[in-house]
Amino acid sequence: MKPDRYQLLVRIWAPVVLIMVIIGIVLLLTACGRSSAIGSIDDRASLSVLSFESIDEETSGIVYRTVEDFPAFIAQTKVPVLLVFHAPMDPVNTRVIPRIEQLADDHQGQLAIVWIDATVESKLANDFQVNQLPQFTMLVDAVIKRSLIGYGDNGQEQLDQLVKTYLEP
C-alpha cells in the first residue's frame, strides 16, 4: 500500500516542526535565564549594592546585594552611582557605613550606592585609580564625574555635597 500525500507531508514536516519548537524553547529559556547584574543579599560581599527593600510585611531596610556583573550593573543603571571603596578593617567605616546607608534610604530610586572592598576588588580599585581609602567616586551615565578621598571631620558634609551635585532636582 502506497502512502498518500498527507502522510508523506506529516512524515517530512513533523521532525522539522519538532526541531523548530525545541530550538525556540531553548532560545526562550536562554534569554529568560540570563543572570542579573544583582545577586542575593550578602552583607559580607566584596562588591555589593545598597538598596532600601521590603523583605516581608514587617521587615524593611537597607540591604546589601552582591553585584554579579559590575560592568552590566553600571551600564544599566539609570541614576547616578556612588562607588564607595573601603577596607574592611578601617576604623573610619564606623562613621562611613551609617552615612552611606542613610544616603541609600534618603535617595531611594535617585542614587545607586556600590560598597566595594578595595582589598578584594583590587582590579576594580586600580581601574578607578584608588590610592587612599575610603574613596567616594560619582558616576553619571557610566562616566566618572568626581571623587572624594578620605572621610575626615567634615566628611559627612563633603559626601552630602558630592552626592547632591549629581542628583536630579
70 half-sphere exposure, CB direction, 13 A CA radius:
15
Regarding whether 51 and 132 lie in a shared domain, the answer is yes
Regarding whether 91 and 146 lie in a shared domain, the answer is yes
Query: Can you say how many angstroms the Cα of residue 55 is from the centroid of all Cα atoms in its chain?
Result: 18
Helix (H/G/I), strand (E/B), else coil: 91: coil
In tens, the pLDDT along 128-153 reads 999 999 999 999 999 999 999 999 99
Share of the chain above pLDDT 70, in %: 79
CB 47 within 8 A of CB 114: yes
- Kindly state the greatest CA–CA separation across the chain: 96
pLDDT at 22: 56
Regarding whether 104 and 53 lie in a shared domain, the answer is yes
Given a cut of 80, is residue 118 above it in pLDDT?
A: yes
CA 81 → CA 2, 25, 51, 77, distances in Å? Answer: 72, 37, 12, 8
The strand order across the sheet containing 143-149 reads 38-41, 60-67, 47-54, 112-117, 81-86, 135-140, 143-149
pLDDT at 31: 45
Regarding whether 61 and 1 lie in a shared domain, the answer is no
Regarding whether 29 and 44 lie in a shared domain, the answer is no
The CATH number that applies at residue 86 is: 3.40.30.10
Helix (H/G/I), strand (E/B), else coil: 147: strand
Rounded to two decimals, the pTM is: 0.78
Given a cut of 60, is residue 76 above it in pLDDT?
A: yes
In tens, the pLDDT along 14-59 reads 555 556 555 555 444 444 444 578 889 898 999 999 988 887 888 8
CA 118 → CA 60, 86, 131, 140, distances in Å? Answer: 28, 6, 10, 21
Regarding whether 51 and 22 lie in a shared domain, the answer is no
Per the structure, the complete domain to which residue 115 belongs is given by 38-166
Regarding whether 76 and 158 lie in a shared domain, the answer is yes
- Cβ atoms within 10 Å, residue 86: 22
Helix (H/G/I), strand (E/B), else coil: 106: helix
Query: What average pLDDT does the chain have?
Result: 86
How many domains does the chain divide into? 2
pLDDT at 29: 46
DSSP tag of 79: S
Q: What is the DSSP string of 3-43?
A: PPHHHHHHHHHHHHHHHHHHHHHHHHHHHHTPPPSEEEE-T
Given a cut of 60, is residue 1 above it in pLDDT?
A: no
